[in-house]
Every structure is written in C-alpha cells, then in structure tokens.
Structure 1
Amino acid sequence: MPNVQRTGSEVAFRVASEQLAALPGDPDLLACDIDWAGPVDLELPDELAVQAACGIMHVHGRAAGRPQRLGVDYAGTLAGVLAAQGVLAASLARARGAGFTSVRTSVAEAALLSVQQYLAVATADDDWQEPWRAGGRPPFTSRDGVRFELEVLHGEGWQRFWAELGTDRSAVAAGWRPFQQRFATASADLPEALHRALRAVDYRTVAAVADATGVSVLPVRDDPAPPVDVPACTFRTMPGTAPRTEWRGPAPLDGIVVVESTRRIQGPMVGHLLRMLGAEVIRVEPPGGDLMRGVPPLAGDCSARFRALNDGKHAVELDVKGERGRRELHELVADADVFVHNWAPGKAAQLGLDAGDLVRTSPGLVYAWSSGWEPLSWPETPLGTDYLVQAHSGLAAAVHPADEPSAPSLMTLTDVLGGAVSAMGVLAALLHRQRTGRGMRVDSSLFSASGVLPRPSRRLKWTVLDQPLRTSDGFVVLSGRTDPERLAAVLGTTPEGIAERFQERPSGFWAAELPVADVVATPVCTDLRELAGDRKFAAALDHSTHTFPLAPWEFS
C-alpha cells in the first residue's frame, strides 16, 4: 500500500487508501502527501475553509442567492481520488523506467478543479455575461407531496410533457433555457407556473406523462445513504496482449495515447485529467465539430466552458454512425493505449464499437465506459444525468442539513467526480497492463462515483457556526474547531448574538483579528473573477484566454 501522509484531510486520506486497495495494478509503495492548501497561499484548516476560499460555496449557493456549504466533504473526496490517480500514474511511470518516489496533491487544488468550468466562464475574454439568477429551481413537488427531479435533454420532449399537463405555454417557453442551462450556471430560475402545474397532480400522473413523452422523473430520496453499495469502477480483463511501453518523461503518462469520444462534462473530464498527467489525447468529434464549441462566452474563438475541459487535446472529426467513420476510428485506436466514451447504454454495441470490437484492432487496449447508472438495472432506465443521480443516490439529501428539504446541488458534483473516478480506473488498468500485458475494460458511472463520497447515515443539524456568516461586506466561515462559548466571550456577546456581531465588520477584519483567539475566519469567495486575480492563488492557476487550474499533482 502507498504511504499516504495524514497532513491534510482525513477524508482524503481514507478515500485514497480505500480506492487504491480496491483497484488492480498493484501500485508501488510511494510517499503520497495530501495537504489542505498546497500552492494556495492561505491558511485553510479544514473542508469548510477550502469550500469557502476556492469557490465551491459560491457556485453551490447560486441557486439560493447566497453562499452555501456542501454538507459532504466534496473537495476532500476529490482530493483523495486525485491522490490515488497520482500514485497510480507514478507507479505506471516507474514500471516503464521512471524514478518517481513521491506524489503530492491538495484539497484546495481539488476544489479549484471542481469549479474550473465556472472559473473559465467568469474569466473569459468575451464581454458576454452569464445569465444566472436565484430562485425557482427544481426539485418539483406533486399534489401528494412527492419531491422529484425531472430531466429532459431536448426541447421537443420538454414541450410535450408540459402540454400534456395543460401548462401555460409562455411559462413553458420561458422555462426551457434556464432549465437547460442549469448545468452551466448552477442556477435555474423557473417560472412559478411550472411548479404550480406539478403541484396540481399526483406523482403517479407525473410519472405516466413523463413516460409517454420521453421525460425522466425520479423522487428525491431523503436518506443520505446510497441505496446500494457498488464499487467505484469494475474491471474485466480482455483478450490479447500488448508490449510493455517505455517512459519518455518528464510527465508520468508521456508516450500514452488516449482516444476519446465524449460529450458534456463526465467524459471529457477523463481525457482532461489524463492529458494533465502527460498523455496525448485525441478527441473524436462529429462532422462540423462539437456543438458545445460555440456556446458563449467565448474564450478566443471557442467556448470558455468547452475549453476548460478540452484544451490541449487534438480534435478529429469522424462520423462514427457511418462505415467510413467507424473504420477511421478503428485506425486511430490501433495506435492508442486507451479508448474512452460516455455514449448512451447500448450505443457502442449498436455501432460495432464495443470493447470486443476494438480489442481485435488493438490487443491490450484499455477500454473505458463512463455511464450514468451502471451497474444499476432499471425496468426503464432514466436519463443518466447529474441531478437525477444526486436525487436517487442520497447525495441530494447529504448536501443539505436536516432542517432543509433534500435537493441536488446545481453544481455538477457527480459529473466532475464521475470523470475523476473513470480516469482513476483507466490508470489502474494501464498499470495492470504494463505489469501483465493484458488490457482491461473499465466501467464506471455517475452513480458509482457518488458512492465514493463519505456521508453520515442520517442528515445532520447545523448550527450558525457551521454555515457562512454574513459580514458587513460579504461572508466568512469559521474553522470547525471553534467553540461557540469561547468565541462569544471573545466577541463580547452571547452565542445567540454571534451572527449579528459578525455583520458589524468586514470579512478582512475578522480574518485578521480572530487568529488571536485561535479561530480561523476564512472569507468566502463570492466572485470567481476576484479569485482568479488574487495573488494567493497565483501558483495554482494560469491564464490564457481564460483562467484555469494547473495540474494538481507534484511528482518527485
């Protein structure tokens, strides 16, 4: 087992250790340090401080109109997955001739990686302003009291669903864009008429109409525990062998070639992480290019959001639905080490591009599928998207305290974590291949990734000190070790008066003064543009046409 240092998040340490123990490949005994701040020049003593300083509270809180904490150690969990990736990548490089002995990452760098799309949008050179507003967001509530999430990917299905319920057409038209854009904006200000229409019918009727119109609906579970326990990734050894590859340096994955055919966030995130580790990534797009390239705001001549996950990849256009395009994809894969896709269930087999098809072209191939729900089975499988997965997995309950209704975060939690988990599985399979010559199929999903997040068995109550405190110019959060009685004495008030006292002074005052009382007050980021321009983040971020996080690992 790798020697994972406990200098930062206990959650990150546990996640890294558990995942490495469960993965194939037999990683080397390397020193792995996971600290809190990494290159960020701030005192960040815990998960709350990281969420506050690095933009997570800002993005998660957009739907509510103020910063809000995530009730799970999301940054710590992602840092644990990144640490596991680092150990696997260094072990792979060592098996190919490198001399790495240690890897380092941090919870702050994981947090910045999780908000990279929102950061790219906020800092794009384009003058376009992202239209996000609080209020009106799903979940919806039916007449019989069922809270549920709804998902549809195309405008036609959206219109048909609401038309069957007799909903005002103008509200339906006005609601489509904020609903569709909620993945990008982390908000969804839907017209009240849409909520009212669903409060007028029982959930059974809603489900029937959804089924008839191609819309997916799922109740939001109030139990934070996952309904079933599934591994983060599943692995199957494939026939054929591949020769050992030599390390070229300096990055761990130099010389590794990845072909990806992916869309949205989860799939592109896999190639993005592998590219940051040194792999060459060839991105297969449909004729005319990925439509997401043109989504505003633009960073240079391409969408800032698209660039956040796809810069540095080599794009080729192929029509994989046609015989020629499939043949050309086989030719690409013949010279590759990895193929990654997040197509809908059954599409790969329908196209003749499943693992068994491609391994005949490239013996020893690592074939990775990032899906929505695998290995769950459904009579009618709902769309495998972030918010439906949060609703069903219990994550929607875990991110809020016990006195608030369960609701998915509109920050794309499982998309980012799902991509990271898939990349971790690819690295384990590559290490296994380097040691044995045998390729592997790696299956993971948004649902399987959601289970990686540690969470309590029941929803917890939060005190005023567990959430951002309003100041005269913003918000701060206090370190989790803060004692309310002692803090009240320092402030010259009662525990009940703490929140009011904080409103009397700016955030910077509290950050400077409270360390005297052994309390760390961390100002909450409320503008990602200011974060990007803050010198304290300079060693963790870079800027071209937009601001982006640097690779979150250091190898030595």
Structure 2
Amino acid sequence: MTATAVAAAPLAGTAVRAVGDTVPVRVAASRLRALGCAVDRVGGRPPAAASAGRIDLVTGPAGTASPVGCDLAWSLPSVPLADERDVQAACGLAYLHGRSRGGPRFLPVDYASLCAGALAAQAVAVAALTLLRGGPALRASVSVAGAALLAVAPYTAEATATRGTPPSPGPGEPPPFRSADGVRFEIETLDPEAWLRFWEALGAPTAAIAAGWAPFQRRFATAVCPLPAALFAALASVPFTAVRDLAREHGVGAVPLRPLADVTDEAEPPRRLRGLDAPAGPDLPPWSATGPGPLAGLRVVEATNRVQGPLAGLLLTLLGADTVRVEPPGGDPMRGVPPLAGGLSARFAAFNRGKEAVECDLRTAGGRRAAADLAVDGHVLLYNWPPGRAERFGLGVDDLTDRAPGLVHVHADGWAGAEPSPGVPATDFLVQAHGGIADLLFDGVTDPAPSLVTLTDVLGGILAAEAALAGLLLRSRTGVGASGRTALVDAARLLRRVGRGTAHRPRTGTAPVADPASAARTFPEAFTRVHGTALPRAPWTFVPLTEEGR
C-alpha cells in the first residue's frame, strides 16, 4: 500500500478563548490555530492564578462545551517573577547566553515566553486527546519559568553533577568568523577528521587546529567556544567563496549570517502533518486514571540523538507515554560523555530519563526487522535521522503502513528541504545563522551572532512533540495514522514571527542573574534529583475537574 498523504487539521471544529495580551498567550493561540482550532481573543487582565494569561477550550473535539484549558503564570511558587526579564535572570538563560562573552546578557527575544506558549498549546491538545480517549476534563497549568528551566536542563544537569563552580571559558573568542571580503559566517562539522582536513587546507597552525577542536565540539554542551586567534586569522585571509568551496570539499558546512531583511517567510508556515490514506486501525487505548500522566497507555518508539529528538521524546514521556529508545549496539555514545552521575552522562539523562532502551543494529537486516517490530507495536514513531534514512532502514511511512495503519510517524528534521546548499549539516548554530536569528539577537553591544544556547534545538524539540500530539489527535478522530515533519527551521521561523522582545533593555529591580546550578536550588519543585543531579520535571500540571470543581 502507498500511504498517500492528505491534509488534516486535528483540532478542526474546536474553539478556544485566549485571555491576556502576552507573548505566551499569543504563541499558544497561534499554535492552536495552526492545528485547526478557532481562537477568540479576549482583552482584559487574566485571573491572579494565571498571571501570564489563560487559554480555555470552550468547544471540545466532540463539538460540545468543555471546561478544560490551561493557566499560564510567570513564576513557580518558589520565587515571584513578573516578566520575561525576571525569568531569564532567575532561570539561567541570561547567564548562559552571556557566558561566552564574559558576563550575563539577556536574550533580545522573549524565548522563555515563546516556549511556554507552545507548551500551553500542547496542554490544551493533551486535554482534548484525553476527552477523546474517554478521560475527564483536565485543567492544566504552565509557567514561563518552568519553560525556561526545561530549556536549560542539560546545562543544569551538568552543573549539578559536577557540584562545582562553573569553569572559566578560558582564552580565545567564539565564532562567528569573518572572511577576507567581510562576510561573517559559521562553520559546522561533527567529524574531527573533517575539522583537521579543512584547517590544514587553509594553512592553519597544527597546534591551533588541535586546541580548537575540543571547545568547538563541546560548545553545544557548555555555551562557550573559545577558539585560538590563529583560526580566525586563517579564515580572515580568504574570501568567503573560497572558504565555502574548501568547506564543501572537506565535509564541513559554512553558512553566512543572514540579516533578517534577507529572510522571506511564507504568509502561512508550512503544514507538514498528513493523515495516511490507509484503513482504520484499532482505537487508541482508553485513558487510565492510574497511569503516570494523560498519555498513559500510549507507546512511543524513539530513534533520536543530541537535543531536538530526545527532548521531544522526553516531553511525551513526562506526559505519561511509555517510551523506548532504539539505540545502536553498545548504546548511544552520549551515555558515556562526562560528567557522569550514577554511571550515566548527566546531559544525556536530562533528556532521556524514564525511557527504556533497546539496542538494534540498523546496519543489519535483523536489526532493521527488530526496529520495525518495535515500531508497529507502538503508537508513535519519532526519529531525527537525516531525510531518506528512515526509508533506507525500512522504517518509512510506506514501509510500515500495511502493518501499522494507525502509527503516527514524526520526523524531527533540520532544514526540511530548505538547506542553504547541498550537504550543509542541519545543526542549531547554522540554522540560527541562516535563519536570521543572529541578527534578531543583536543587542547593540556586540556584533550579531548566534546564541551558544541551543535555541532552535530546544524549540524544535517542543515542536516535534506538538506534531506527535497532533498526529495522535488525528488518529483518535479518524482512526488512521498520520505523518508529521517538523524542523529546526520551523523553530527559527517561529522566533522570527514572535520578533524582538524587551528583556535586554536595562531596568532596575530585576532578579539577580543565576547560573543553572543556582536556578536548580532556587526552583527545587522543577527538578528531581538522581544521584545528586537535577533533572527536569514535567513543565505542566494537570488536574482532573470534578463536577463540583467546574
């Protein structure tokens, strides 16, 4: 069978009322509208329990009145916070964004608010799915602080695992680089051999090449990247076209920093959720009152690495899904990356705790069959392989639809076919550069540069989890599975649509800037401790509404 894709709006026929004119509310409303929900915007101040706004699902998926919804607050109970700047200061975002430049810097975008709005939309989608599965009306709550703490969770895990003062970045400067003709750009490779060949072709000193690899490789984990001056000098002597050609020849990506004015967005973001042209499968398991969360009884099969995919899987796990990771023989190599806590990498644990792991060698026919068997027994298949790899493994939509017509396929992609040139890696910092995010983050103090906080990776993970929920909603309403594709470029697009914020503007009375370890101590309710390491709890709470409580 060919799973011919048809467009679908999983929340068609539903309606919400959005209360409050804040970024979290506007983002939540836009995400729900994209899922097919009608949105009624209401002015005025939200109730005290929802200081950042409120979303009420006034018409549920069955077309009847519904009391479910989501309250948005700025803070968690530990510390009162009033706005985005307070949140960035107290939760570690300002510390991490400024760490590579020698001191705290506030993001000039309302990043925590944006993440909170997307999580609030997920909460409403989960509440609607719970109703479709025969469960009760749920009232959810999300805080902007909780969203910020989720975004910095790997840094918090590493900081609390080491139980020490964060080390100094050391001598050197972070990218971006500048070519002889004045082009500012980022480079990327995950291969040390490609790194060596590229710099040798440029004539860089061997000592500088060797000294630069470790900080370059770990910049995703540390939010710093002090590189030797000799590397900048090597690139400053060559025009960008020559840099790009050398990079392509040696397996390195090179991407100029594009100004926002050069980035053209579609009038409407692309919708990549499609219902499958397939027979109806069995109903989803009914909602369970005794499960670990509203997705209890649902199974997610996850084949992901790094940040975007594992975070999407974590969010589904924290919602109660039973998640199993498909890992290579010997396990995911990231499991052993220091610092370790209880024999497991603290950073790996931040986005992968609570998941089962099954090792499958996808290079072999037996391993591919084992992975396919896992997938067809699940409800969601989530992966972030490069395009085409799922099909090569026999795990594409067409490969599995005959056996699992109700399966929800979610591809957490990078460029989604919009790469700046062939073969360029789809990683966070290159997406920030090409997507105009470096320009968006310009604060008037330093030259435009991508943030070394993985902004699009985290937001991309949230969007991938949203796609899984949307697919499950569609499955509940139509009986057939779905195929969803999200990408890091979608996260960049959403950042551009929200635009610049005001957190970077100086003011008096802002909360002191905390590092991630301090933030974990300040907000203990947002973390669980495993071997002394602070790992994120669910960013939502859900409370069933009884007849008396409605």
TM class, shorter-length? 0.7 to 0.9
Distance 1:448 1:241 in 2: 30
Any idea what SS the aligned residue of 1:237 has? strand
Superposition pairs of residues 26-175 of structure 1, within 5 angstroms: 28=60, 30-37=68-75, 39-124=76-161, 132-133=169-170, 135-175=172-212
Match of 2:11 in 1: none
Distance 2:262 2:150 in 1: 26
1:553 aligns with 2:543: no
1:530 aligns with 2:542: no
CA 1:409–1:466 in structure 2 vs 1: closer, same or farther (change >3 Å)? Answer: closer
Distance 1:234 1:209 in 2: 35
Any idea what SS the aligned residue of 2:273 has? strand
Indicate conservation of the 8 Å contact 1:259/1:332, yes or no: yes
Identity of aligned residues (%): 44
Shift of 1:538: 2.5
Distance 2:210 2:440 in 1: 33
Cα displacement string for residues 25-71 of structure 1 (whole angstroms, at most 9, x for unaligned residues): 8973532211111x342221111110011100011111111010111
Any idea what SS the aligned residue of 1:282 has? strand
Match of 2:52 in 1: none
Match of 1:176 in 2: 213
Number of residue pairs the alignment of both structures matches: 498
Distance 2:164 2:95 in 1: 21
Indicate conservation of the 8 Å contact 2:408/2:483, yes or no: yes
Cα displacement string for residues 190-246 of structure 1 (whole angstroms, at most 9, x for unaligned residues): 000000000011101101101111110010012278433363751121123222221
Match of 1:256 in 2: 298
1:11 aligns with 2:51: no
Shift of 1:321: 1.8
Distance 1:220 1:342 in 2: 25
Superposition pairs of residues 331-370 of structure 1, within 5 angstroms: 331-370=373-412
CA 1:330–1:466 in structure 2 vs 1: closer, same or farther (change >3 Å)? Answer: closer
Q: CA RMSD in A?
A: 2.2
Cα displacement string for residues 450-509 of structure 1 (whole angstroms, at most 9, x for unaligned residues): 21125577x79x8xx9456xxxxxxxx64xxxxxxxxxxxxxxxxxxxxxxxxxxxxxxx
CA 1:127–1:399 in structure 2 vs 1: closer, same or farther (change >3 Å)? Answer: closer
Any idea what SS the aligned residue of 2:226 has? coil
AA aligned opposite 1:34: L
Match of 1:371 in 2: 413
Cα displacement string for residues 305-331 of structure 1 (whole angstroms, at most 9, x for unaligned residues): 000000000001001121001111111
1:543 aligns with 2:529: yes
Residue range with higher mean Cα deviation, 393-402 or 131-140: 131-140
AA aligned opposite 1:19: R
Superposition pairs of residues 442-461 of structure 1, within 5 angstroms: 442-454=484-496
Cα displacement string for residues 53-96 of structure 1 (whole angstroms, at most 9, x for unaligned residues): 11000111111110101111100000011001111111111110
Distance 1:369 1:283 in 2: 15
Q: Calculate the TM-score normalised by the size of structure 2.
A: 0.86
Shift of 1:127: 7.3
Match of 2:46 in 1: none
Indicate conservation of the 8 Å contact 1:120/1:548, yes or no: yes
Match of 1:234 in 2: 272
Match of 1:247 in 2: 287
Gaps of 5+ in 2: 1-13, 39-56, 61-65, 544-550
Shift of 1:376: 1.7
Residue range with higher mean Cα deviation, 131-140 or 249-258: 131-140
Indicate conservation of the 8 Å contact 2:85/2:510, yes or no: no
Match of 2:45 in 1: none
Distance 1:124 1:233 in 2: 40
Distance 1:396 1:134 in 2: 23
